[in-house]
Structure 1
Amino acid sequence: MQLSSTLAWLVDAASDSPGADRLLAELGARLVADSVPLAAGALTLDVPHPLIARRTWLWRAESGEVIEALGFAPAGLAPDQPGDAGRRWLADIASGPLHEDMVGLRQNGPLLAWAGARPFTSHETNTLRQAARFAAAPLAALAARATLTASLEAYLGRRSTARVLSAPLRRDVGETIQAALLYADLRDFTALSETARPDVVIASLDAWFDRIAGAVHAFGGEVLKFIGDGMLAIFPVAGEARRGACDAALKSASATRAGMAHLNEERHAQGLPLLSFGLALHLGEMLWGNIGAANRLDFTAIGPAVNLVSRLEGLCKPLGRSVLVSGALAAEADTPLIPLGEHRLRGIASPCAVFALPET
């Protein structure tokens, strides 16, 4: 059987599309070229993500543009049914009944929907069904790629995921980068974990990580590790722009402090113990890459800068400060800081100039 150019493209080349959005746009344009009177199309995929239940891409034939609608599934709320976002959008455009196909055999598989510039004929409907049938394989490949990326990003972060996916899985793969580092830790959490129920402990940890990780992401940083009740994050230096990375880290620290103050107001109202923390910032070089056993790798950061920032955080409690800043980062920052003199850090040969973020 001689395949049409559209079906041949779906078999031979559609899997190489950079994403589901481009596949939808290309498929829609090809169907229009095949004289199917499309006004718009929508493609819905389920995705494994902590916050997003599914993704829907919306394509308009007139402009060729694609926009995305995210379906969120917060706890306690029922998410839209698959395809609802696309159906609502297409219904505003269609001049007749919508046509949709579940792609593949899975009940929660991809959903392709189309709005016509006029009602579809039986021949046009058959063409759309054939396109959906042949789209199953490339969409399965794209969905698998998206699943892998989303899963890795949830555990590693976006920048680290990009590095992992683009490099060989070997221990000797990594690079030396300069970054502002943030290390933070909850204080007296061991006592809380020994006296509170496990669900209360986990809820407290989640609330803490929400505040600090949210502040890191808001200013362009990336969480590298959750370490018990602690966290290591980086703000990579772009080119020679050290000041930008340092100021972003300081803004993140200020936002964390504000977020924790608000959280503690809520916990006080609920009769829960308050959460205190220490946070340290430093600027330095680190090795960012794979370490571990021959067949079990970890993608992380190591080096003297990582050691220093973790030791500096240990000074927060004895100095009575929630945020401490190394002299290396303070020298690049625009934010006014309070000098606290030089201090020796455990395991660090040279004393470290220490500054504090004003507590207001």
Structure 2
Amino acid sequence: MDSHQIPNILAPEDQARLLLRETDGWALSPVLDWMFSSSAKTLDATELLRGLVDELLAVGAPINRIRYSFWTIHPQIAAITFIWTKTDDHIEQVSVPHGIRETGAWIGSPAEKVVNTQQLQRYRMDELDFDKEHPVLRELHVQGVTDYVGIPMRAASGEYHTVFISTDRPVGFCDQDISKFNRMCDFLQPKVEVLAMRSMSVELLNTYVGARTGQRVLRGQIKRGDGELIEAALWFSDLRDFTALTESLPAEELLDVLNTYFEFVFDAVNEFGGEVLRFIGDAMLIVFTAETAGGPKEACRAALKAAERAFLSLASFNEGREKQGKPEIRFGVGLHEGTVIYGNVGAPARLDFTVMGPAVNRTARLEGLTKDVGCPLLMSKDFAAIADVETVSRGIHKMRGVEEPQEVFSLQSCQGI
């Protein structure tokens, strides 16, 4: 057994004493009573930790820091950690990136030992040789920690979430403190599991359908035909020369080009309050709702600012590609404003949340005209009028699926976007 590892199984009679308050020191029962109360029924991990800390302090538990972490499913992060410290009485949320298990921050750490051994680990600072321990323990010692306990909580997936509790009490924790914390985590585990599952659901929906749509799904708007009319600035963009790129580039490099283009556009759109609704091959359908932006004019201007940002960012990136002898990544954008249906369509058991209506078709046709007009960004007459910015007419053009020819506009410096 590891020198820091402690068996975490109490005899039944000892567990009963903990629950019936027949122990010395602080009482565990009020904390457990709180866990079953309505005030502990929350889907907010920060709120749960705040409540837990308040209850432990109220019964006199000798704590100066609590941290719990749970693994999640997210394209950028592997786990989420919440930390409370007595010094500033503040809860910090930390996102743990993928690859953490291959770094020095994890290897040999108390967290790694708790997860790998699936056993409670205790670190009494006055007994440690810090030259042989993970650096995080020295950091905690410098902060005044005298005793540090890590407790595993098994998730339904088989992973182990963790709770770490420390004290600055000169004598550290007593054995009953450890037993109470360990028993407390048996009751805390289902709540942390719910938080972890909720986090996964939210992040997966945000990743695959977008934040706005994801929230609607979580609120129960999941039946085919559910929808509403919304007013929005609409964006349709398409990668230039994609067919030629598919024929000339290896699959891995083609995927890299696509992801680079998507990333630059997404970052710009996200910054100005837009939402990517769909990736359609090499195309993107995006909305800037009037409700979110504060009005139709604000939505149109946000879309324009996002487009300018995306073009400028990609132009800078293309300078590096040119030096490497690689083809430029270029794209076109069509912008229109109108009212669309925003809702669920599809088969009964396979749905898509999207926008529909003539305005969507017109936006896609505007993007198609960018190639013919020789300008990477075109907007409809309606969009230009609502945005109320200086524009230049690029003539009247026929659009497939639109009965009357339409006048289209660009910004004054079309090529300088």
TM-score (norm. length: structure 1):
0.92
Shift of 1:15: 6.9
Is 2:403 the counterpart of 1:349? yes
Provide the residue aligned with 1:103 in structure 2: 153
Instruction: Please say which of residues 279-288 and 104-113 is displaced more in the overlay.
Output: 104-113
Distance 1:275 1:76, change over 3 A: farther
- Asked if the contact 2:147/2:168 (under 8 Å) is kept, the reply is no
Q: What are the equivalent positions in structure 2 for 1:64-143 lying under 5 Å apart?
A: 64-73=89-98, 78=103, 80-81=105-106, 83=111, 93-104=143-154, 108-118=159-169, 119-143=172-196
Looking at structure 2, the residues matched to 55 and 283 of structure 1 have their Cα atoms a distance apart, in angstroms, of 39
The one-letter code of the counterpart of 1:71 is V
The one-letter code of the counterpart of 1:326 is S
Equivalent residue for 1:269, pick from 317, 323, 329: 323
- Asked if the contact 2:40/2:51 (under 8 Å) is kept, the reply is no
The one-letter code of the counterpart of 1:338 is V
Looking at structure 2, the residues matched to 336 and 27 of structure 1 have their Cα atoms a distance apart, in angstroms, of 57
Looking at structure 2, the residues matched to 6 and 128 of structure 1 have their Cα atoms a distance apart, in angstroms, of 10
Provide the residue aligned with 1:53 in structure 2: 78
Looking at structure 1, the residues matched to 390 and 100 of structure 2 have their Cα atoms a distance apart, in angstroms, of 41
Provide the residue aligned with 1:197 in structure 2: 250
- Asked if the contact 1:180/1:283 (under 8 Å) is kept, the reply is yes
Provide the residue aligned with 1:316 in structure 2: 370
CA-based RMSD of the aligned residues comes to 2.6
Looking at structure 2, the residues matched to 19 and 143 of structure 1 have their Cα atoms a distance apart, in angstroms, of 10
Distance 1:175 1:74, change over 3 A: farther
Shift of 1:248: 0.8
Looking at structure 1, the residues matched to 62 and 33 of structure 2 have their Cα atoms a distance apart, in angstroms, of 20
Looking at structure 2, the residues matched to 41 and 76 of structure 1 have their Cα atoms a distance apart, in angstroms, of 22
List per-residue Cα deviations over 1:248-307 (Å, max 9, x = no partner): 100110011112212221221222222221111111111111100111111111111111
The gaps in structure 1 that reach 5 residues or longer are none
- The DSSP-based 3-state class of the residue aligned with 1:272 is coil
Instruction: Please say which of residues 288-297 and 110-119 is displaced more in the overlay.
Output: 110-119
- Asked if the contact 2:76/2:97 (under 8 Å) is kept, the reply is yes
The one-letter code of the counterpart of 2:163 is L
Equivalent residue for 2:313, pick from 247, 259, 264: 259
Looking at structure 1, the residues matched to 212 and 141 of structure 2 have their Cα atoms a distance apart, in angstroms, of 38
Distance 1:91 1:225, change over 3 A: farther
Distance 1:102 1:92, change over 3 A: farther
The one-letter code of the counterpart of 1:52 is I
- The DSSP-based 3-state class of the residue aligned with 2:145 is coil
List per-residue Cα deviations over 1:64-91 (Å, max 9, x = no partner): 4322122223799848428599979865
Is 2:291 the counterpart of 1:241? no
Looking at structure 1, the residues matched to 72 and 30 of structure 2 have their Cα atoms a distance apart, in angstroms, of 30
Distance 1:14 1:93, change over 3 A: farther
Looking at structure 1, the residues matched to 138 and 203 of structure 2 have their Cα atoms a distance apart, in angstroms, of 26
List per-residue Cα deviations over 1:157-205 (Å, max 9, x = no partner): 1111001111242112111111111110012111110222111111110
Larger Rg: 2
List per-residue Cα deviations over 1:183-232 (Å, max 9, x = no partner): 10012111110222111111110111111111111111111000000101
Q: What are the equivalent positions in structure 2 for 1:18-29 lying under 5 Å apart?
A: 18-29=43-54
Distance 1:60 1:75, change over 3 A: closer
- Asked if the contact 1:90/1:114 (under 8 Å) is kept, the reply is no
Distance 1:335 1:24, change over 3 A: same
The gaps in structure 2 that reach 5 residues or longer are 1-15, 21-28, 113-134
The percentage of counterpart residues that share the same residue type is 33
Equivalent residue for 1:37, pick from 59, 62, 71: 62
TM-score (norm. length: structure 2):
0.80
- Asked if the contact 2:67/2:84 (under 8 Å) is kept, the reply is yes
The one-letter code of the counterpart of 1:138 is K
Instruction: Please say which of residues 308-317 and 236-245 is displaced more in the overlay.
Output: 236-245
- Asked if the contact 1:100/1:111 (under 8 Å) is kept, the reply is yes
